[in-house]
Chain A
Amino acid sequence: GNSVTQMEGPVTLSEEAFLTINCTYTATGYPSLFWYVQYPGEGLQLLLKATKADDKGSNKGFEATYRKETTSFHLEKGSVQVSDSAVYFCALSTDKLIFGTGTRLQVFP
């Protein structure tokens, strides 16, 4: 069946460090891929998405590239801020939306 695997957290970084959160997927067909973010005390909100192979989604300095050959959609940011501290969820969709377990990011000043 379809599934999403994310790296376990927490990921702990200093401000301005480079961020990578790994995400790989298993799917039949051609899924769309998403990153959602959940800030403390809030629900999830869409961060970025990519709908086909080699597409790059970007938003708020975050980027992720749809890699069909490696079935990956890793999230990156060149310089994180304390305000980026949150839980990040990778997700895929074919006929329904399937989420990963989430990766907690903690950024310290």
Chain B
Amino acid sequence: ETGVTQTPRHLVMGMTNKKSLKCEQHLGHNAMYWYKQSAKKPLELMFVYSLEERVENNSVPSRFSPECPNSSHLFLHLHTLQPEDSALYLCASSQERQAQVNNSPLHFGNGTRLTVT
């Protein structure tokens, strides 16, 4: 039990589909993150939410749309994706956004393995 739960674990979608990834944390944290993990590349930070407000968007294409309805839930809505978007998408949380840098480690979910066909 990691405290951060992601669903689904695996997702296969066509380029014209619309799907959503879900993340839920049971740790009482105030900051949540979406990362993209691709083979042989550093983890790419996509979005950061602090107290349900988006505070960082790292030049992510608009076909990825995050939503944070409350401090425990984070979604990533997907539409008209490309094959190069196939990757492992990781959700993470931390106690505070700034504190995660030094004192409060990130807690990761197990990820959603996305394949775009």
Q: Which residues of A contact B (CB under 8 A)?
A: 4, 32, 34, 36, 41-46, 49, 51, 89, 93-102
- Whether B92 pairs with A43 at a CB distance below 8 angstroms is yes
Report the minimal beta-carbon distance from B81 to chain A, rounded to whole angstroms.
21
Q: Please give the distance in Å from B70's CB to the nearest CB on chain A.
A: 21
With most chain A CB atoms within 10 A of its CB, the pick from B43, B90, B100, B106 is B43
Any A CB within 8 A of the CB of B78: no
Q: How far is the CA of A46 from the CA of B93 in the complex (A)?
A: 13
A101 x B42 contact (CB < 8 A): yes
Number of A-B contacts (CB under 8 A): 52
- Contacting pair A94 B90 (CB below 8 A): no
Which residue from chain B places its CB closest to the CB of A99 in the assembled complex?
B43
Which among A36, A43, A46, A98 is the interface contact of B111 at CB below 8 angstroms?
A43
Do B110 and A94 touch across chains, with their CB atoms under 8 A apart? no
Interface residue ranges of B62-112 to A (CB < 8 Å):
90-92, 100-102, 105-111
Assess the B108–A43 pair: CB atoms within 8 A. yes
Closest Cβ of chain B to A30, distance in Å, is 10
Known A-B contacts A43-B4, A96-B45; the reply to A32 vs B102 at CB < 8 A is yes
Cβ contact within 8 Å between A42 and B42: no
Kindly name the residue among B4, B42, B90 whose own CB sees the greatest number of chain A CB atoms within 10 A.
B42
User: B42 near A100 (CB under 8 angstroms)?
Assistant: yes
- Report the bound CA distance from A49 to B105 in whole Å: 9
Which residue in B90, B92, B101, B107 is a CB contact (below 8 Å) of A96? B101
- Contact present for A43 and B90 (CB under 8 Å): yes
Known: A99-B43, A100-B42. A44 touches B108 (CB 8 A): yes
Which one of B42, B107, B108 contacts A4 once the chains associate, using CB atoms below 8 Å?
B42
B89 → A minimal CB distance (Å): 10
- Closest chain-B Cβ to A11's Cβ sits at a distance in Å of 15
Instruction: Tell me whether B2 is interfacial, beta carbon within 8 Å.
Output: yes
Specify which chain A residues have a CB less than 8 angstroms from the CB of B40 in the assembled complex: 101
- 13 CB contacts below 8 A, A to B, read A32-B101, A36-B106, A41-B110, A43-B2, A43-B4, A43-B6, A43-B91, A43-B111, A45-B108, A94-B101, A96-B101, A97-B45, A101-B42
